[in-house]
């Protein structure tokens, strides 16, 4: 597939899978051999693992939304800089629901296979910014 086609699929993953919670698209947009290099160690790095992590995120942040700030592609690789937003209304990573809203930054790398499906995913999330904003007892001074 072309870099432009891969960018379009990356946008769909953010806008339709993440923002619109259309998990049914995962099987058509992700390769059967998909590997997620960014899931927690106790989650399988597969499509099914990704789906389970999405369910965890949606329970914790029912209003989860991402904005694509930048997106670039070369060959089979697409890189995105995202802004995430969500209100902690359920337990997340051992933190109880606080009702607080956080805004954080993420970088995502998507590698596509020859058929145009997502084959691999890596990300870097500013977890410190997210968790500091959501904490029931934010750090002082």
Sheet with strand 77-87: strands edge to edge: 30-36, 118-125, 101-112, 77-87, 65-74
Instruction: Give residue 3's pLDDT.
Output: 96
The vertex-125 CA angle with 70 and 116, nearest 5°, equals 55
For 81-97, how does the pLDDT look when each residue is reduced to its tens digit (9 = 90+)?
999 999 999 999 889 99
- Looking at residue 138, what is its pLDDT? 60
Level-2 CATH architecture, domain 3-134: Roll (3.10)
> Is the pLDDT assigned to residue 139 strictly greater than 70?
no
Those residues whose C-beta lies under 8 Å from the C-beta of residue 20, and which sit 6 or more positions away, are none
**What average pLDDT does the structure give for the chain?**
95
Map out the domains of the chain as residue ranges.
Answer: 3-134
The whole-model pTM stands at 0.91
Tens digit of each residue's pLDDT (9 = 90 or more) over 1-33: 899 999 999 999 999 999 999 999 999 999 999
- Closest C-alpha to 57, from 12, 102, 27: 102
Q: Is residue 43 within 8 Å of 35, Cβ to Cβ?
A: no
C-alpha–C-alpha distance, residues 141 and 128, integer Å: 16
According to DSSP, the residues that pair with 35 across neighbouring strands are 120
Does residue 55 have a pLDDT over 90? yes
Over range 61-72, report the average pLDDT: 98
Measured CA to CA, the distance from residue 122 to residue 108 in angstroms comes to 6
């Amino acid at each position: 597939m072309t870099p432009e086609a891969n960018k379009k699929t990356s946008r769909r993953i953010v806008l339709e899978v993440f923002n619109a919670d259309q998990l049914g698209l995962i099987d058509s947009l992700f390769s059967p051999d998909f590997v997620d290099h960014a899931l927690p160690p106790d989650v399988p790095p597969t499509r099914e693992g990704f789906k389970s992590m999405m369910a965890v995120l949606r329970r914790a942040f029912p209003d989860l939304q991402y904005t694509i700030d930048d997106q670039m592609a070369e060959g089979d690789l697409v890189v995105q800089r995202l802004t995430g937003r969500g209100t902690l209304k359920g337990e997340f990573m051992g933190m109880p629901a606080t009702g607080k809203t956080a805004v954080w930054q993420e970088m995502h790398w998507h590698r596509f296979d020859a058929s145009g499906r997502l084959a691999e995913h890596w990300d870097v999330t500013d977890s410190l910014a997210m968790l500091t904003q959501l904490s029931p007892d934010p750090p002082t001074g």
